[in-house]
Every structure is written in structure tokens, then in C-alpha cells.
């Protein structure tokens, strides 16, 4: 699957959630998410623009690979492979035995909405603040970007944030 995504600094999550309700968006999930990002033993993911992420949610866990970002105008697209797993701790033990090292943990509260082909995540990220992510997961990216732009305008989102949460946290540390 290709993930096409725009992230904005939120003008206020309450305000956005009200707007989403007015637009007829459907709340599909509300959860606390802990993402462990891992460094590759022989490759600098910062340079190759890849990521290996272990996600722990109240409802299960997953291991995800994210490929390099391809810039498409204002949105970003990247390959994303998600594997549902039985146990996040066991997965972490395996990847650590293989030489992967934990570099950063990102914790957030996420409320997710569905609107047509769009998924809207209303995020409150520990140490970073509030963000809105607009996302389309698709095999055929045509017109996805226009759809994202349109939704961004409807929600009056203006403050585009091109960096990932991982980059924002690492930037903050240095």
C-alpha cells in the first residue's frame, strides 16, 4: 500500500473535532499509541529515509516498515507495510537480537475519523502538542493529493508540518 499523508499543526483539536462532526466524519477509533522506532544495524535510516516502527496499542500491536518519502507537491507519499503481531515485547526482543536498537519512543492519544476515502487523525503527542494528520491509504494514488488539499482547506488547516513525529522529537533533543 502507498500512504499519502499531510500533517498540520492543529489550530485546536476541539475545534477540529467539531468541524469534523459538522462535515459528517465518523469516529472510528480513540486510542493511546506507543511507537518504538528502531535503528537498523547496518544502515542509517536518517539518510535512507526509512523507518522500522513497533506500535503498541490498547488493541494489539503491529510492526511497520516505512519506505522513503516521495514528495508529491505539498503532501508526502511513502510505502508502508504493516504486520499485525501477537506481542510487541516479543517482537522487540527479536529485532534487538538482530541488532536493531531503540532510538526513540513516541506516545500519543489519537482520535481517528473516516470521511469518504480519507482518514483524519486528531493527535495529541507527548512533548510535541496537537497535530492533525490527513491520510489516504491506497494502491492507486491518483487524485489523492487533491482530496487531501481540499479536506485541509475545509478544516482551515494552514500550518503544514513536513517532518515526522520521530524527526520532531529528535530535532527537539538536539
State the catalytic residues.
Answer: 37
Asked whether position 49 contacts its own copies by CB under 8 A, the answer is: no
Among 15, 65, 101, 156, the residue binding its own copies under the rule CB under 8 A is 65
- Quote the Cα angle for 166-163-87, to 5°: 30
In the complex with its own copies, which residue's Cβ is closer, 2 or 23? 2
Contact 80, 67 (CB under 8 A): yes
Distance of alpha carbon 120 from alpha carbon 114, whole angstroms: 6
Distance of alpha carbon 77 from alpha carbon 168, whole angstroms: 18
In the complex with its own copies, which residue's Cβ is closer, 64 or 138? 64
Say how many residues touch its own copies, by CB under 8 A: 24
Among 17, 34, 49, 50, the residue binding its own copies under the rule CB under 8 A is 50
Asked whether position 101 contacts its own copies by CB under 8 A, the answer is: no
In the complex with its own copies, which residue's Cβ is closer, 10 or 92? 92
Distance of alpha carbon 139 from alpha carbon 3, whole angstroms: 9
Among 21, 28, 31, 41, the residue binding its own copies under the rule CB under 8 A is 41
In the complex, the smallest distance separating the C-beta of residue 34 from its own copies, rounded to whole angstroms, is: 18
Contact 54, 36 (CB under 8 A): yes
Residue with cell 516521495: 70
Interface segment toward its own copies; rule CB under 8 A; list 69-77, 89-97, 107-115, 148-156? 89-97
**Rounded to an integer, what is the distance from CA 133 to the centroid of its chain?**
7
Among 15, 18, 93, 101, the residue binding its own copies under the rule CB under 8 A is 93
Contact 159, 133 (CB under 8 A): no
Amino acid at each position: 500500500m502507498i500512504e499519502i499523508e499531510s500533517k498540520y499543526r492543529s489550530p485546536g483539536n476541539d475545534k477540529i473535532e467539531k468541524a469534523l462532526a459538522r462535515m459528517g466524519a465518523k469516529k472510528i477509533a480513540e486510542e493511546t499509541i506507543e511507537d518504538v522506532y528502531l535503528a537498523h544495524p547496518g544502515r542509517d535510516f536518517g539518510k535512507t529515509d526509512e523507518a522500522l516502527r513497533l506500535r503498541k496499542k490498547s488493541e494489539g500491536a503491529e510492526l511497520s516498515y516505512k519506505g522513503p518519502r516521495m514528495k508529491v507537491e505539498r503532501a508526502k507519499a511513502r510505502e508502508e507495510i504493516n504486520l499485525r503481531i501477537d506481542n510487541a515485547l516479543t517482537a522487540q526482543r527479536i529485532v534487538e537480537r538482530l541488532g536493531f536498537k531503540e532510538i526513540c519512543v513516541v506516545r500519543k492519544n489519537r482520535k481517528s475519523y473516516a470521511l469518504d476515502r480519507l482518514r483524519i487523525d486528531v493527535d495529541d503527542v507527548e512533548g510535541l502538542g496537537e497535530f492533525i494528520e490527513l491520510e489516504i491509504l491506497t494502491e492507486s494514488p491518483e487524485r489523492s493529493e487533491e482530496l487531501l488539499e481540499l479536506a485541509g482547506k475545509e478544516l482551515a488547516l494552514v500550518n503544514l508540518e513536513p517532518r515526522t513525529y520521530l524527526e520532531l522529537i529528535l530535532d527537539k533533543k538536539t
